[in-house]
Structure 1
Amino acid sequence: MKDSLNAIINARLQGSDELHRITMENDRFAQVTVQSVAATAGERELDAAGNLVVPPFVEPHIHLDAALTAGQPRWNQSGTLFEGIECWSERKASLTRDDVVGRAEQTLKLFADNGIQHVRTHVDVTDPTLTGLKAMLEVRERMAKIVDLQIVAFPQEGLWSFPQGKELMEESVRLGADVVGGIPHFEFTRDYGVESVQWLVALAHKHDLLVDVHCDEIDDPESRFLEVLAAEALRRDYGSRVTASHTCAMGSYNDHYCSRLFRLLKKSGLRFLSMPTESLHLQGRFDNYPKRRGLTRVPELLDAGLKVAFGQDSIRDPWYPLGNGNMLRTLDVGLHACHMLGMGWIDHSLELITDNGAAALDLKEYGIEEGLPARCVVLQGRSPYEVLLGQLPVLASVRDGRVLVDRRS
């Protein structure tokens, strides 16, 4: 990284047509002031040239332990979630520390190059050796200069349905996982799923950890573990620390049920994550026509005042063979799929890959304000509309007052 910056000049902030000067001291933002006219950059100043400057992108849901394994040991030919789990179960048997560390670090460098500085990764802990988890704990420390990494202990094959699932989760927490995960819709029975949700929330609450559950990642309208998760979060007053990932089944729920469900969701204050590219690929596989989109009710959740963020989910793994680390691509697909191309949605669209993701990760210091860590990205465009039109790489990425990425020349 280069020497620390003193300031970013000619910066355009969201919701303002004026240019701003953002000064930095001791790796934090010192002042954010309006410029009366365009300025010329001095020594250790970065010229944003009138482009939009926003907080760093947040990748709230990725599987780094599986990244870059597409086709190993075989391709997911059906394109279903369930064959993906089978392929991964076969690949998981050959995991080594060097294998996981190498692929994870390669992917995180790709993310950093795309302006992502905060990442939450799910790591499969239905592995008696916990090879992936132990490797990812090492990666968290090794990559701390370019990205903050949260680790979810994720029981890919179930807590109740996998031998020693609960014991492996408890060991993962002891080793240093940040977040407790779950996958209730994949448990053998509904009772198992309910019990797993209640148990994992209790475990997280006991250890003061966050929760992120793969919840109802299926088109089945009878898959209703979201209500269980929300009720547990509400009962413990823990909603702001609990994330429901995917909730694809909500796209198949009837409106009568959703009317009652939304009352609970608003009371609970859960965070929601939708992975549009992957859900569009994996869901609707059991439909003929019409085919469901397989996405949760993103605009309705936002209208209800709940926090929703978009994530990539996968980078070339058994579930999704593509992925390039560009959050603007994910945002574009999500806005299209969720019928959110009205200008009102577009004007606030960057929140889906910045502020709302930060809320899901429970980040206490995030944003462009005096006193906060000096972290931001310079985009190519003067407004969210222009940024979405181009979907061009970030011009610059600044972390703790130092330049990580600079494409201005």
Structure 2
Amino acid sequence: MTARLDAVLGNARVPASLVADAQRFGGRRDRDCFAGNLVVRGGSVAGMSQDGPVDTDLGGRLVTTPFVEPHCHLDKCFTIERLDFAGGSLLDAITAQSADKANWTYGDLRGRAERGIREMVAAGTRMVRTHVDWEVDMRDPDRLPLAWRVIGDLAEEWRGRITIQRAALLPIASMADAGYSQAVGRVIAQSGGALGAFVFDQPERAAGIHNMFSVAARHGLALDFHVDEGLSPELDGLELIAREAARTAHAEPVLCGHACNLAVIEQDVRKQRIELTARAGLSVVALPSSNLYLQDRDRTIPRERGLTAVSELLAAGVNVAFGTDNVQDAFCPVGIHDPKRTLAMGVLAAHLPPPLGDRLPLVMQNAAKALGQPLAPVDRSPADALLIWETGDVAELVSGGTYARCRSLHDAMPSH
């Protein structure tokens, strides 16, 4: 039996932030949602009606677009129990995780990465970008990391259930070598990935960023940076990237993760840097779990949150999203691959006020835009691209509680 292409699904709730044309959508405004009968025509959502016969009663359940995970590390996840690591700084975590790579066989990587993928799919995630550590070999830039190949295999196997993007995570110093950067950019383009790098205080960072934009333009690559993952006011990677993006008018998406020190630098400098980020068209992904755990470790009691300036970036028109980042590894010893829980943590850490429904794009449309894959709103989506949840409350959904379980809206459609 196949679901009908036309149906009226009664007693539905749709978060208003996930609707493109509120004036024409119909329905009754109920706090941060539209409530009413969801009308499906030709297999796609046409809007809401207030009365008339219905084919199926949804019982007040929420209907949403799927979640998007813009930044995680499937090569590192679920390693904390085997690490000789008791917590520490970002550099401590890098050292501990690097030592664990001796355990990274095909089977080990596949098992841990697929566990993370299963968590995401169960949580209603249908698109993800995972970073993959790139082992630099200046003599052999064509060599693909084992994790890159493993996750590529999984991307094919999970096709149709979740879209998996890979972003190469390179040290920015290696990209300052023009020959190496061109060679590795070609390899990444051929294997269908994004070009990324860790930008901190390296002396070669400006040259490396310049080369990355050049390589990305040549091969049509999206760029993805771990940038300014610290609280020193001297860190300036975000500004360097924004200036290069503005200068080159790079055609592909440019995403910057972390940008921790943006929240603690002097106000005038912060305002200028945020305005530059907005003009350059960068996306910024805030990563509350790892940043709350690793930043401000120099004091007995942490006082600085380590989270980027989320509210000011949003107010300036920057595309901002939240990412889960590390899960149960040296960078964050706890967690689960679930954008709902990431959003809940971000709401707390960034002091984002209700209504919570207004925050859903941070882990849906905004996150998809950061990955260069626009996510249609509810009123422009086919029914089989939408999710129906066991709860009717956005707070319950975002909190990831007992009733925050989902299925395809297509499954709720009446059958012939």
Task: Tell whether the structures are fold-level matches, with TM greater than 0.5.
Answer: yes
Give the TM-score of the pair, scaled to structure 2. 0.84
Listed as ranges, the gaps of 5+ residues in structure 1 are: 42-46, 404-409
- Structure-2 change in CA distance of 1:93 and 1:160 (3 Å): farther
Letter in 2 for 1:355: Q
Contact 2:220 2:252 in 1 (8 A): no
Match among 73, 90, 111 for residue 63 of structure 1: 73
Distance 2:322 2:156 in 1: 25
Q: Hey, what does 1:262 align to over in structure 2?
A: 274
Residues 5 and 24, structure 1, Cα contact 8 Å, conserved in 2: no
Partner of 2:109: 100
Which residue among 118, 137, 150 is the counterpart of 2:152?
Answer: 137
SS in 2 for 1:32: strand
Aligned in 2, Cα 1:337/1:284: closer, same or farther, shift over 3 Å?
same
Compute the RMSD of aligned alpha carbons.
Answer: 2.9
**Residue 323 (structure 1) aligns with:** 335
Aligned to 1:78: 87
- In structure 2, relative to structure 1, the CA distance for the partners of 1:22 and 1:76 (3 Å cut) is farther
On the 8 A contact 1:126/1:157 being kept in 2, the answer is: no
Give matches, 1:229-268, under 5 Å: 229-238=241-250, 241-268=253-280
Partner Cα distance (1:292, 1:235) in 2 = 33
Name 1:407's counterpart in structure 2: none
Alignment of 1:367-378 (within 5 A): 367-370=377-380, 372=382, 374-378=384-388
Aligned match of 1:20: 37
Which amino acid counterpart does residue 117 of structure 1 have in structure 2? R
1:152 to 148, 167, 177: 167
In 2 relative to 1, CA 4–396 (structure 1 residues): closer, same or farther, beyond 3 Å? farther
SS of residue matched to 1:13: strand
> What residue number does 2:305 align with?
293
What is the rounded CA distance, in whole Å, between the counterparts of 1:183 and 1:9 in structure 2?
Answer: 48
Aligned to 2:289: 277
Query: How many angstroms apart in 2 are the aligned matches of 1:330 and 1:265?
Result: 23
Further displaced range: 193-202 or 385-394 = 385-394
Does residue 89 (structure 1) correspond to residue 106 (structure 2)? The answer is: no
Instruction: Describe the shift of the 1:292–1:259 C-alpha distance in structure 2 as closer, same or farther (beyond 3 A).
Output: same
Q: Please tell me whether the aligned partners of residues 275 and 310 of structure 1 are also in contact (alpha carbons under 8 angstroms).
A: yes
Q: Are residues 390 and 184 of structure 1, via their aligned partners in 2, closer, same or farther at CA, if it must alter by over 3 Å?
A: closer
Aligned residue-pair number: 388
Match of 2:51 in 1: 36
Structure 1 residues 373 and 379 mapped into 2: Cα distance closer, same or farther (>3 Å)?
A: closer
Label 1:154 to 1:389 Cα distance change in 2 as closer, same or farther (>3 A).
closer
Give the aligned residue type for 2:199: P
Paired amino acid for 1:285:
R
CA–CA separation in structure 1 for the residues paired with 2:339 and 2:269: 33
* Cα distance, 1:364–1:349 mapped onto 2, change above 3 Å: closer
Distance 2:401 2:302 in 1: 31
Residue 280 of structure 1, CA deviation: 0.3
In 2, Cα distance between the equivalents of 1:256 and 1:335?
25
- How many angstroms apart in 2 are the aligned matches of 1:217 and 1:87? 17
Distance 2:158 2:332 in 1: 25
Seen in structure 2, the aligned counterparts of structure 1 residues 388 and 68 have a Cα distance that, compared at 3 Å, is closer
Contact 1:278 1:313 in 2 (8 A): yes
**Residue 353 of structure 1 is aligned with which of 363, 366, 387?**
363
Instruction: Please state whether the residue corresponding to 1:320 is helix, strand or coil.
Output: coil
Does the aligned pair in 2 maintain the 1:52–1:380 contact within 8 Å? Answer: yes
**Compared CA separation, residues 91 and 217, structure 1 to 2 (3 A):** same
SS in 2 for 1:220: coil
Aligned match of 1:113: 122
Aligned residue in 1 for 2:134: 125
Answer whether contact 2:176 2:208 (CA < 8 A) is retained.
no
Deviation of 1:323 after TM superposition, in Å, equals: 1.1
* 1:152-175 residue CA offsets vs partner (Å, 9 max, x unmatched): 01115853589x963773364144
Measured in 1, the distance between the counterparts of 2:242 and 2:53 equals 49
The verdict on how the C-alpha distance between 1:265 and 1:89 changes in structure 2, with shifts beyond 3 A counting, is: same
Conservation of the 8 A alpha-carbon contact between 1:114 and 1:393: no
Q: Deviation digits for residues 8-61 of structure 1, max 9, x if unmatched? A: 723211224332325375xx62533424258352xxxxx532122111011110
1:236 and 1:29 mapped to 2: Cα distance?
39
